[in-house]
Structure 1
């Protein structure tokens, strides 16, 4: 918007405000003068409508009390309970007389839908009922087979419990037959009183159902033309509403109330006296409102509310305001013409500056009126200095080999230099306006929040290393420097982020560390090979002797033929098997150290793990160890050395058992899990866990927490797993430790 236009608008607005103020003052005076008269008229009209409801109901109250005093009512209710006769007439005779009297009354009163006598027995079964067909206006005595039990209805329970001579008035609702709303639905009001014998013992109820459809149809027609009439029960539910969907919506489970729809005048519901006021609806339209209470009984009352738009009731004041507005419009036109003429003489230099700034932003040559006099000349020279500085900064950012990105305090990217395009793969038009999170891995989102918190405190962040994502989703290592950006008042409005790709540098460092680790691993393997060779030479002979002795003992026991020796023979066989297994382990160890895997075969991992578990727990008699097996079903067979993998699993299980010595809970969990390219085996215990110091040296040779341990079990186990192409992991806390290793489904 040009300065000339703004000046013109300012002068026009001044005239508009003055004119509007005058018109509003005139309107307010007229409005204030008419307001009391309008509100009193609305209240009087609401009172007339409310009196119509009261008059419609009052005659029915007298009829209910009259019916309760009829001899036929009392005799019918009493004989139904006691039997016998009264004045020589039995129950059937009195009931017939009562039905005739009720029929005569309902024919005379066209607003009555039903008149009933309800007994207390048979779950409140009706004794007599006469009713009107609301479609044809025909009346009838309902046959005995169609009479219903009403003991479950609220009005029955409430009316029976009322004192002698008290009148019960129900809530206005749709009539129900057999527990369902009668169709077509019609609003009804039930008036009832209890019948008592001479000892004030309840005998039954007299009930009149008052049909309100005609009243509710005619009542809104008596309201203010263009207004809205509402009739509400004590809960604020709609009985009459301009919106047909609101009336009696509570009967269908809709809990909408007048209080929720008109919160500004919610206090009018159940008002004890007539009141008036103003409010606005949800669309902001203003209404004049009056409310009149309708007392049906001590327990039951309604509220009649009439709401009329103020533009209808205050039409006279609005006419005066429109006249003042027309006069002001003429003044506005004249002021606009004058403002345009004055502003045009001031804005030429400013337009030249605006065009120059626009050209500079597009990289085009800019011509500024730096030789102009006065304030426009000062402004042009200041803009020239700013453009020179901006050009310098753009040149620096454009030629930088480092990525330079700026963001606002919400993390939205505001600038993006060519180096950023090369580093991350996003063009400037793709990145600007996006969140910086497009470059941030999910597990590092908190890192950005922490950086921006420090930036908001006007702190600069020195060089630190982190990981970012390229457009292709590939992670890259970067060295990042972050500094705050300030506005002209010194407030922090964003951050400048300079990043350098250090992926190749870190990869070289990792390769160096891996080579060093492999050299150390080779040294460990060499040492272990020497130890294995010595152990194999020294242990094979005694193990062979153990196996031979066990077999000799077996032959002797078999030769004796004593039945009691059968169990001993079983354990002798197991001892021989374990001796042979130990010899095989030593042989495999020598082969492993020599990097030979000539016993690799496809095996069932679950069977291998179960065999190792049985071996490791063979001496676990009499302990409280709880073993939980969780083997993944349908595991494929995979290539492995059965003896070596069983050695790994058995070693982990023995370690877990020893870790739980003295623990109150000794739960050992062994499970296998299937993954797309590998199978995982996990052994977990509920021991005290491993300290940070132990974790740091866990897989180093001769590092052990056992008093008599050599510290090479985990080292050898990990080497076996890695020789198979897998990996070993450990997690530990105060609740226990979990060792896992993986085995590839296919050898590379």
Structure 2
């Protein structure tokens, strides 16, 4: 046999062998890659189904928690506890239940997957207080009449929920709904989500429960099955909740359990492992299936599993087709090689074998080796093939890595990412977009972005802006950032910040939008602006009050002198009384201004607020009149509050007078106390609040209420809605400043026509409450013969004090500032008391001067005076221990009493206050 024939036969045999090897290796490689990928796709489908199922009940937990603190639910509880009437809501229990029923109906209208919404009380065997279901005409929502309400106290959902600690939520397994103890027909699979409501004394009052209808979610899973796929939903025991054969569903409800372990025994381990898993399993008949399993908790309740199966033949259809195609191609290649080998066997046999090895190596991902021999053309071809293979691998790996990185960034972004085509149709919709707008990804994809999230009035404007962006290459590349109003799925409007950028692709432009919800930022900015405004007004009013107190001090003292001189002239004496009354009115006004500015000296003590309110109520009765009823609702075991009791009494009286003016035809004033804890989340939402324990005092009236348009201004100084001459506009300002200076918090709640409630939150004290009794003060002027050093920067006040002290028998020395006072002391002058203003110009204020004097003359006694004290001797509005302060303006009697007290009873500055402030 000729060599060419032998070479041809060998070449053909080699080609057949190489083709067979390539086919087998390709089949194995494809099978090794295709099976995991097919299982991954099956698993991904199951995860998507699980995500959709979880999303269908996600809102129920938040809704039931929201109704735990809803005003309507609490009002019903208060009305029931107050014998069918809620004083704060001004409505009967029947009316409140009717209102709550309407709200439940609205919830059912807006959430089609809710089957029932109920409010069940503990009393009367767990009787329903309010129930709304879909028993109206055509399945419409309806509030069930009282005669149809049922007792649910024996139901597991009620018993489990009522035993929960406060704040926790009960989630039932998925089961068939029952009416009057009978399974509803047609069957309605439901998930029950409930939470308990507790009375103010901590006892359980009832529960709020939502029955979520699982039929729509199950129907979507059932209808989505195709291409031989079968989908199941099972509970944590493996009982079928959803099956292609409806007769096998919920068998456990009828004592005929049908479980997935019976049909797919190998799924037992996958279900027990929990989480997500996939694999090839055998059914009970021995047939192979690919299975994807995802385990999840609906509304953080009992665990369920979503299972998707696909016959193995369907799972490997692509691989089998690739194998058959490879074999056919191999046979054709062998025939062609045989024909070609006859002509070019001698010249191409060896290079073709080498090239075959190169191709085989590339299919296995091996390094490409250049063939030896075969001529220049074969060498060039081999080199080019090797370069192409290397570049292809590198680019493919880089592309996959970049794509995965981009998807991870978009999926985990805090801002919403939305991508649209030129027509505005949504192409991408990340989880943050779902959270912000309320539309799921499945609902949003393919929809018009503008019609989905923008109010109708702005849609034409946004279309013009997008067209303008796409017309210019420069603007498309640079992008656009702006703020605009948007709407959520439930129709709620809110403001968003949008960053737009258009990108050109082969099919035209796509528009990428990053969207940020501005709701919290807007609220925080508004709160900051209000706090800054109140702080600025406080600084201004405090400064004015300080200077005005200096003037009032001179006026009041001068009037006393004039009154004594004209006591035998009735006409002139009457004039001096009028001037004195005007000066007292001015002093009261400045006291209110200092209270608002948080610059008044406080003497906080551990105070029994219940006892103080009882005493204050006695003083309020003659002030408010017979047409106003006063009711006290004081909680037992209320903590003592760290507060100035006198200032608290004044604040309560101010609030009571405001309430009286809001009830011209009479009404009820309610005083309430209880212990509250303001947590970190509340403190985060209110920048002026520190988390901790507080004593809450509520002052409520049944008056006309405060219009919403002025509700934010009620604490502004000089703002008043009363007639001219009936008020100064400083009552509520004083209350606001006192509460803030006491490290407390104040909130106002009002509804026009229904009344107003002011809630004062005062910090809890650490010890036992002190007695409020005070020693009587002497009304006689008492003088002395000691020497007093007067330090006052205002010459009028200094002259007045000098005159009054000399009239009381004292010897006086005077200085305009701290430096002059130290010069007098260094000069050797003897004096028994330092009487100094706190706030003075120069390098030494009153406290610093007292400290310097104490170093020079240990044991020196000090009396301070000031229109306000800032932090020189007061820390956060509270007097230092052992410090005596005479607040301006003051009369001669006040001056005489405090000077005598300082000379006889005052603490020594050098003992405990020698350091500068």
Shared fold, TM over 0.5: no
TM-score, length-scaled by structure 1: 0.39
Decide which structure has the larger Cα Rg and report it: 1
